[in-house]
Amino acid sequence: MDDTVQQRISQNISETPVVLFMKGSPVFPQCGFSAAVVQILSHLGVKFKGIDVLSDPGIRQGIKEFSNWPTIPQLYVKGEFVGGCDIIREMFETGELQQVFEQKGIPVRA
Protein backbone atom coordinates (compact mmCIF):
# COMPACT_ATOMS: atom_id res chain seq x y z
CA MET A 1 0.00 0.00 0.00
CA ASP A 2 1.01 3.60 -0.58
CA ASP A 3 2.86 4.74 2.56
CA THR A 4 1.43 8.23 2.60
CA VAL A 5 -2.11 6.85 2.47
CA GLN A 6 -1.30 4.47 5.31
CA GLN A 7 0.11 7.40 7.29
CA ARG A 8 -2.94 9.54 6.70
CA ILE A 9 -5.20 6.73 7.88
CA SER A 10 -3.09 6.10 11.00
CA GLN A 11 -2.99 9.79 11.76
CA ASN A 12 -6.76 10.16 11.43
CA ILE A 13 -7.65 7.24 13.66
CA SER A 14 -5.09 8.18 16.32
CA GLU A 15 -6.02 11.88 16.45
CA THR A 16 -9.78 11.45 16.58
CA PRO A 17 -11.42 9.05 19.06
CA VAL A 18 -14.26 7.95 16.77
CA VAL A 19 -13.76 7.87 13.00
CA LEU A 20 -16.16 6.49 10.40
CA PHE A 21 -14.86 5.80 6.91
CA MET A 22 -17.99 6.07 4.83
CA LYS A 23 -19.53 6.83 1.45
CA GLY A 24 -20.75 10.41 1.49
CA SER A 25 -20.81 12.70 4.49
CA PRO A 26 -22.59 12.24 7.83
CA VAL A 27 -25.18 14.78 6.65
CA PHE A 28 -25.55 13.25 3.17
CA PRO A 29 -24.57 9.57 3.24
CA GLN A 30 -24.37 8.11 -0.28
CA CYS A 31 -24.99 4.50 0.68
CA GLY A 32 -27.53 2.74 2.88
CA PHE A 33 -24.91 0.88 4.89
CA SER A 34 -23.03 4.06 5.72
CA ALA A 35 -26.30 5.79 6.56
CA ALA A 36 -27.23 3.00 8.98
CA VAL A 37 -24.01 3.42 10.98
CA VAL A 38 -24.37 7.23 11.01
CA GLN A 39 -27.87 6.76 12.36
CA ILE A 40 -26.69 4.48 15.17
CA LEU A 41 -23.87 6.85 16.18
CA SER A 42 -26.25 9.81 16.11
CA HIS A 43 -28.79 7.90 18.16
CA LEU A 44 -26.11 7.22 20.78
CA GLY A 45 -25.05 10.86 20.71
CA VAL A 46 -21.46 9.85 19.90
CA LYS A 47 -19.33 12.53 18.29
CA PHE A 48 -17.44 11.22 15.30
CA LYS A 49 -15.51 12.30 12.27
CA GLY A 50 -16.82 11.04 8.94
CA ILE A 51 -14.29 10.53 6.17
CA ASP A 52 -15.81 10.36 2.70
CA VAL A 53 -13.99 7.67 0.72
CA LEU A 54 -15.83 8.62 -2.48
CA SER A 55 -13.93 11.90 -2.62
CA ASP A 56 -10.59 10.19 -1.99
CA PRO A 57 -9.81 7.10 -4.11
CA GLY A 58 -6.48 6.56 -2.30
CA ILE A 59 -8.19 6.27 1.07
CA ARG A 60 -11.02 4.22 -0.44
CA GLN A 61 -8.60 1.47 -1.49
CA GLY A 62 -6.12 2.07 1.32
CA ILE A 63 -8.58 1.61 4.15
CA LYS A 64 -9.55 -1.84 2.84
CA GLU A 65 -5.93 -2.93 2.91
CA PHE A 66 -5.29 -1.23 6.24
CA SER A 67 -7.94 -3.30 8.04
CA ASN A 68 -8.03 -6.32 5.72
CA TRP A 69 -11.73 -5.58 5.38
CA PRO A 70 -13.32 -5.42 1.92
CA THR A 71 -16.20 -3.05 2.47
CA ILE A 72 -17.17 0.46 3.56
CA PRO A 73 -18.29 1.71 6.12
CA GLN A 74 -15.62 0.99 8.72
CA LEU A 75 -15.80 2.27 12.28
CA TYR A 76 -12.67 2.96 14.34
CA VAL A 77 -12.75 3.72 18.05
CA LYS A 78 -9.53 4.90 19.71
CA GLY A 79 -7.53 3.61 16.78
CA GLU A 80 -9.11 0.18 16.76
CA PHE A 81 -11.27 -1.25 13.98
CA VAL A 82 -14.61 -2.21 15.54
CA GLY A 83 -16.55 -3.37 12.50
CA GLY A 84 -18.56 -2.70 9.39
CA CYS A 85 -22.29 -2.15 9.10
CA ASP A 86 -23.47 -5.67 10.07
CA ILE A 87 -21.25 -5.89 13.14
CA ILE A 88 -22.07 -2.37 14.34
CA ARG A 89 -25.78 -3.04 13.92
CA GLU A 90 -25.55 -6.36 15.77
CA MET A 91 -23.45 -4.83 18.57
CA PHE A 92 -25.87 -1.92 18.90
CA GLU A 93 -28.81 -4.30 19.24
CA THR A 94 -27.11 -6.38 21.94
CA GLY A 95 -25.83 -3.30 23.81
CA GLU A 96 -22.17 -4.23 23.20
CA LEU A 97 -21.48 -1.11 21.17
CA GLN A 98 -22.52 1.15 24.03
CA GLN A 99 -20.17 -0.87 26.29
CA VAL A 100 -17.26 -0.44 23.87
CA PHE A 101 -17.73 3.34 23.88
CA GLU A 102 -18.05 3.47 27.65
CA GLN A 103 -14.99 1.27 28.19
CA LYS A 104 -12.98 3.53 25.94
CA GLY A 105 -14.15 6.64 27.75
CA ILE A 106 -16.38 8.00 25.00
CA PRO A 107 -19.57 9.62 26.25
CA VAL A 108 -22.79 7.96 25.14
CA ARG A 109 -26.23 9.45 25.54
CA ALA A 110 -28.12 7.42 28.15
Partner 1 sequence: MAMDAAMIERLIKESLPDARVSIEDLRGDGDHYAAHVVSDAFRGKTRVQQHQMVYQALRGRMGNELHALALQTGAPED
Tell me which residue of 55, 50, 96, 56 sits closest to 73, measured CA to CA: 50
81 contributes a contact to partner 1 by CB under 8 A: yes
Minimum distance between the CB of residue 83 and partner 1, rounded to whole angstroms? 6
82 contributes a contact to partner 1 by CB under 8 A: yes
- Which of 10, 47, 57, 90 binds partner 1 (CB under 8 A)? It is 90
Which residues in this chain contact partner 1 in the complex, by CB under 8 A? 33, 64, 68-71, 81-87, 90-91
